[in-house]
């Protein structure tokens, strides 16, 4: 990785009344990386990207792209950064094909090249059959795919993708992650916001975690897992709901996911082993148990509990 800084946020703050969407953000990014901007709802992720592309003006602080300060409304930022917004609205009056082609042309591709790239993206993202539909008439997932195709129509040195796989089915999510991974190059910086940490993990070189507008973590996925400490992820399926797993998990202030009678949670190794031993004594109630090393998402949730212990004991719905 190069040490050259391409993008920097210097003391960036954005306030909406009494809400600090971003607060004293100091972070810089070099080319050659795919960086995941993670964090809970309302943490300030979209605000960060919108300020980067000049759609939102910071209350204070400076954002630089290639050393040049970003000011809202300037054209040069758009030529350097392809932006996939969280809720794409632009290009709604164009057909899918026109939207992709127009995006490619606006970023300087010659006509024949833009047409070729449009055909390739229509095929790669299974959009050929709906290429003549208006973007504004598409379903949520189709709309997102059209947005991704437009963002990828002329890859720029910097890409800023807000929730690229939101609303997509599992097959298309995988294709989009593959396309993002294929964009990785020593001459490109990709910043992406995602709640799908499990899938994003495959492509990420670095994670920046925002919490209540501030940077709580900045480092590699491996270091994040290490920071979470010695934890295990346990999945237990009951064949008899009489075993009060929820009470035991809540007693240890743990977060869990439940699907029917299957519970998944991540806990410090001694706590996980203690609970397993306790439950296995009542073995007639248990259909199966698996124990795994934590994923990046598991590690993230453990750290989130440390940062915000007030929300520590809860059932989490599977995304
Ligand atoms: N235009 C706005 N006016 C008022 N408040 C806003 C505005 N935009 C964002 N906020 C507030 O700023 C905070 C950060 O919002 P932001 O959309 O950046 O969060 P996020 O991390 O992207 O959230 P999510 O994961 O839910 O999309 C939130 O409290 C949000 O309600």
φ, ψ of residue 164 in degrees (nearest 5): -60, -25
pLDDT at 271: 92
Please, what CATH class does the domain formed by 226-316 belong to?
Answer: alpha beta
Q: Which ligand 1 atom sits closest to the C-alpha of 22?
A: 14
Q: Measured from the CB, is residue 41 less than 6 Å from ligand 1?
A: yes
Q: What ipTM was predicted for this assembly?
A: 0.98
pLDDT at 304: 81
Ordered by start, the domain boundaries in the chain are: 7-219, 226-316
Nearest protein CA to atom 25 of ligand 1, as residue: 41
H/E stretch holding 265:
strand 262-268
Crossing angle of helices 111-124/140-152, nearest 10°? Answer: 140
CA angle 199/229/200 to nearest 5° reads: 10
Q: Which ligand 1 atom sits closest to the C-alpha of 40?
A: 25
Give the CATH number of domain 7-219; options: 2.60.260.20, 3.40.50.1820, 1.20.1740.10, 3.40.50.300: 3.40.50.300
pLDDT at 78: 86
Q: What is this structure's pTM?
A: 0.85
Residues of the chain short of pLDDT 70, as ranges, are: 1-3, 88-90, 283, 309-319
156 in Cβ contact with 107 (< 8 Å): yes
Q: Measured from the CB, is residue 14 less than 6 Å from ligand 1?
A: no
Q: Measured from the CB, is residue 19 less than 6 Å from ligand 1?
A: yes
pLDDT at 19: 95
Only one residue has tokens 């703050």, namely: 13
**CA end-to-end span of the chain:** 33
DSSP letter, residue 70: P
């Amino acid at each position: 990785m190069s040490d050259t800084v391409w993008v920097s946020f210097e003391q960036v703050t954005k306030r909406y009344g009494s809400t600090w969407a971003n607060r004293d953000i100091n972070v810089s990014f070099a080319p050659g990386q795919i960086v995941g901007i993670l964090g809970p709802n309302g943490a300030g992720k979209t605000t960060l990207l919108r300020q980067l592309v000049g759609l939102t003006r910071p209350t204070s602080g400076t954002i630089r792209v290639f050393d040049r300060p970003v000011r809202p409304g300037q054209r040069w930022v758009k030529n350097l950064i392809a932006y996939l917004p969280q809720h794409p609205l632009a290009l709604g009056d164009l057909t899918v094909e026109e939207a992709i082609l127009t995006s490619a042309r606006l970023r300087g591709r010659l006509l024949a090249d833009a047409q070729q790239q449009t055909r390739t993206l229509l095929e790669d993202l299974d959009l050929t059959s709906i290429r003549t539909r208006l973007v504004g008439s598409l379903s949520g997932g189709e709309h997102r795919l059209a947005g991704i195709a437009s963002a990828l129509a002329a890859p720029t040195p910097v890409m800023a993708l807000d929730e690229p796989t939101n609303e997509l089915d599992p097959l298309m999510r995988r294709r989009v992650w593959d396309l993002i991974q294929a964009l990785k190059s020593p001459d490109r910086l990709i910043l992406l916001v995602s709640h799908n940490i499990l899938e994003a993990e495959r492509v990420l070189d670095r994670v920046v975690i925002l919490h209540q507008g501030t940077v709580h973590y900045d480092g590699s996925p491996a270091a994040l897992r290490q920071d979470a400490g010695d934890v295990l992820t346990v999945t237990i399926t009951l064949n008899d709901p009489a075993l009060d797993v929820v009470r035991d998990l809540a007693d240890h202030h743990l977060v869990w996911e439940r699907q029917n009678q299957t519970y998944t949670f991540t806990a410090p190794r001694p706590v996980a082993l203690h609970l397993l031993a306790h439950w296995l004594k009542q073995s007639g109630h248990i259909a199966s148990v698996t124990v795994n090393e934590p994923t990046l998402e598991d590690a993230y949730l453990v750290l989130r509990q440390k940062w915000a212990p007030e929300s520590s004991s809860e059932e989490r719905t599977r995304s």
